Amino acid sequence: MMRRAAAAAILAMMLIAALLLRGESFVDVSERLLPPSSMHLMGTDTFGRDVASRIGTGILVSASIAAAASSIALAAGLALSFFFSLWRMPGPVFLTAILTLKTVPPVLLALFLSAISGPGVIKLAAVLAIGHAADIAETAYSRVLVARSEDYTLSAIGLGKGRVDVYLHHILPAIMPYIAKQAVSIFSASILSEASLSFLGCGVPVTIPTLGSMLSEARPVMGQAPWLVAFPALFLFLIGLSLELLASGRSELDPSSH
């Protein structure tokens, strides 16, 4: 409990810091590679841009991409679970479809799409959501199977309650913790994948700063300007760590963990 609260607090602070730091950064060649000072809190990069404000914008961009990806995945998970509760899916066919999706790692899919149509923010969010769709579909499927064979669900159906009613009152509460947990882990996986893709230059367009692309620009000058690597890396690590702590462990929503 403490651990999760701390993680959530770090995330909230990070968001506030990002909002405060965010700002336009200008190319100023006379101020290249300056170390951290009171003027430039985290120094300047190869083009003389202020690192702090770029980090602020970068965090917001990464977070919104990840948020979009995980909410698409969440919506897909809920929709799928509703369909599963209406009809009995032929299990083997469905599981084969999931296995097919699983043979393609999300980063690979994103690279392929980037080969076809170039980088883009919305495309990236969609690709990350599709790449993780197999996981959430699998969770929804197995949890709905469990929930609809529970006695309370069967008796509700026996009493003649409508499908939607049964879904909302008996199946949804039972599966929600699992789906929500999956959505959080998709969020953190998306943050990491987005950073990797931007690091490779295949993520968002180069004009938009993200933590990944900042690190990739900083790599050649790592020796002269260590702050260019240190600050984005530190933020990325803190975000990853707190999301990891938030997603691990049993869900607070899960009544069986109390």
Told to check if 64 binds other proteins by CB under 8 A, we report: no
Cβ atoms of 200 and 119 closer than 8 Å: no
**132/190 Cα distance (integer angstroms):** 9
Using the CB atoms, write b or e for 43-79: b if 16+ within 10 Å: bbbbebbbbbbbbbbbbbbbbebbebbbebbbebbbe
Give CA–CA dist 238/225, Å, rounded: 21
Q: Does 16 bind other proteins (CB under 8 A)?
A: no
Site string for other proteins, 180-209 (x = CB under 8 A): ------------x--xx--xxxx-------
Binding segment toward other proteins, per CB under 8 A, in 72-80, 94-102, 152-160, 163-171: 94-102
Query: Alpha-carbon distance 48 to 227, whole Å?
Result: 13
Of 128 and 171, which CB lies nearer to other proteins in the complex structure?
128
- 155 binds other proteins per the rule CB under 8 A: no
Residue 120 interacting with other proteins (CB under 8 A): no
Judged by CB under 8 A, which of 64, 100, 155, 257 binds other proteins? 100
Task: Name which of 34, 67, 27, 30 is nearest 49 in CA terms.
Answer: 27
Q: Residue 245 interacts with other proteins (CB under 8 A)?
A: yes
Contact 152, 173 (CB under 8 A): no
Nearer Cβ to other proteins (62/153)? 62
Angle at the Cα of 40 from the Cα atoms of 36 and 44, rounded to 5 degrees: 75
One residue of 78, 180, 208, 229 binding other proteins per CB under 8 A = 229
> Of the candidates 79, 86, 104, 253, which one interacts with other proteins according to CB under 8 A?
104
Contacting residue, 19, 83, 237, 253, with other proteins by CB under 8 A? 237
Check if the beta carbon of residue 183 is closer than 8 Å to that of residue 96: no
Task: Return residues touching other proteins (CB under 8 A).
Answer: 96-97, 99-100, 102-105, 107-109, 111-118, 192, 195-196, 199-202, 212, 215, 219, 222, 229, 233, 236-237, 240-241, 243-245, 248
